[in-house]
Amino acid sequence: MLGDPGAQADVIDFSPERGELRLYAGLSYACYASSATSPSTNATFAFSLVGTPFRVSPSRNRLTVVGCSALGLVVGTASGGGGDDDDLYATGCFTYCAELNAAGADGAPCAGAGCCQVPISPDIPYLGAAFRTGNWTNTAWRFNPCFYAMVAEDGWYSFRRRDLVGVLAYYNETVDAGRGVPVVIDWAVRDGWCPATAEERARRKYACVSGNSDCVNSSNGMGKL
């Protein structure tokens, strides 16, 4: 398990060689009962890795949005606090299909017809998946009542038209009946960089002190492996 009591995630596996671990997370949804009503929402994908050696991997995960007429977002902060505009991070993608048969075929790439995917930024210790709602109108609610947004391991999700159908059918299948969505987390010693020269290595104390070890700078925020 990883995380504070009450907000723990199941660890799937970990790799010291790659400096990463995989764990199960939730996914966020927005469901509509008509084109005009405000949706019922649940933001169950949220990560706070502030103060830990972990970051959500930008190279091994993607924001995935499933739905028609859906604008999904991943939002976060560099510090994990409420933050100001300088601290805020957000990106997202839009997916549209006028009818169920206009969505991509099962197994099709998530390129905007039923689902879409975008990369996430590195070195973000706090992030969550959400939707643009407010005055947003779901024109597809009769055949696609619920949208889903998740940060998931790249290549894990394979689109199926049936994921668009039914109230929370995909959510119940993925989270309630299973263990959730796999997410890849990077690990590093977060207190600085590797020594640049042999002289620095001799003068400074750092984590890799054995002659049988090597120091490699983290590619996801400050730190060393």
Q: How confident is the model at residue 77 (pLDDT cuts 50, 70, 90)?
A: confident
Lateral strand order in the sheet of 88-95: 46-48, 126-131, 70-77, 88-95
Distance, CA of 64 to CA of 61 (rounded, Å): 9
pLDDT at residue 208, rounded to an integer: 63
Using CA atoms, how far residue 125 sits from 10, 26, 39, 134, in Å, is 18, 17, 28, 27
pLDDT at residue 201, rounded to an integer: 67
pLDDT at residue 42, rounded to an integer: 80
Of 131, 139, 134, nearest in space to 71 by CA = 131
Q: Tokens 């997202």 — which residue?
A: 92
Of 23, 7, 26, nearest in space to 15 by CA = 23
pLDDT above 70 for 159: yes
Q: What percent of the chain has pLDDT over 70?
A: 84
Q: Are 44 and 27 in contact (CB under 8 A)?
A: yes
Q: How confident is the model at residue 65 (pLDDT cuts 50, 70, 90)?
A: very high
pLDDT at residue 225, rounded to an integer: 81
> Kind of pairing, strands 115-118 and 88-95?
unpaired
Helix/strand/coil for 72: strand
